[in-house]
Amino acid sequence: MLVAGTRDPSDLVAVIAVIAGASLAIGATAALVGLWLEERWAPLGRRRVLRAQWIRALRRGLEVGALVAALASLRATDGLTPVTAGFVVGGFALGEIVLAARPLRSSG
C-alpha cells in the first residue's frame, strides 16, 4: 500500500509492485485457509497436519497467487475480457485437476 500511495498510478514499477504484493498476500491467505481446512477435515485421531497436506496447501496457495497475478496483469494492460479470463481460469483449473489426480495402480 505504501507503493500505491507514494507513486504515480501510471508508473510501471508501481503497477508491478501492487500486482506482486496483492498476488503474494492473496496466495498466502489461500495457503493458510487451505492448511486450516486440511486440519479441520482430518479424522479426529489425526489432527496433526502432515507434510503432504502442507505441500498441497502451499501448491494451491501458489496457484491462487499466480492466478491473481495473471488476471491483474491482463487487467492492467486492458487485455482482460470474459473470454481471456475464462481461458486463464480454465487453464489453472485444469492444472489443479492434473496435479490432484492420483496415479492409477497397476494390477500386476
pLDDT at 18 over 70: yes
Q: Is residue 106 part of a domain?
A: no
Q: For the whole model, what pTM was predicted?
A: 0.80
Q: What is the pLDDT of residues 59-92, one digit of tens each?
A: 999 999 999 999 999 999 899 999 999 999 999 9
Q: Is residue 83 part of a domain?
A: yes
Which residues have C-beta within 8 Å of that of residue 42, sequence separation ≥ 6? 48, 49, 53
Q: Is residue 14 part of a domain?
A: yes
Q: Is residue 108 part of a domain?
A: no
Question: Residue 27's domain spans which residues?
Answer: 2-100
Q: Is residue 43 part of a domain?
A: yes
Q: Cell numbers 482430518 correspond to what residue? A: 42
Q: Is residue 74 part of a domain?
A: yes
Asked whether the beta carbons of 67 and 89 are under 8 A apart, the reply is yes
Asked whether the beta carbons of 3 and 14 are under 8 A apart, the reply is yes
Q: At what angle do helices 51-76 and 12-41 cross, to 10 degrees?
A: 150
Q: Is residue 105 part of a domain?
A: no
The number of folded domains in the chain is: 1
For the ranges 12-16, 39-43, 70-74, the maximum mean pLDDT occurs at 70-74
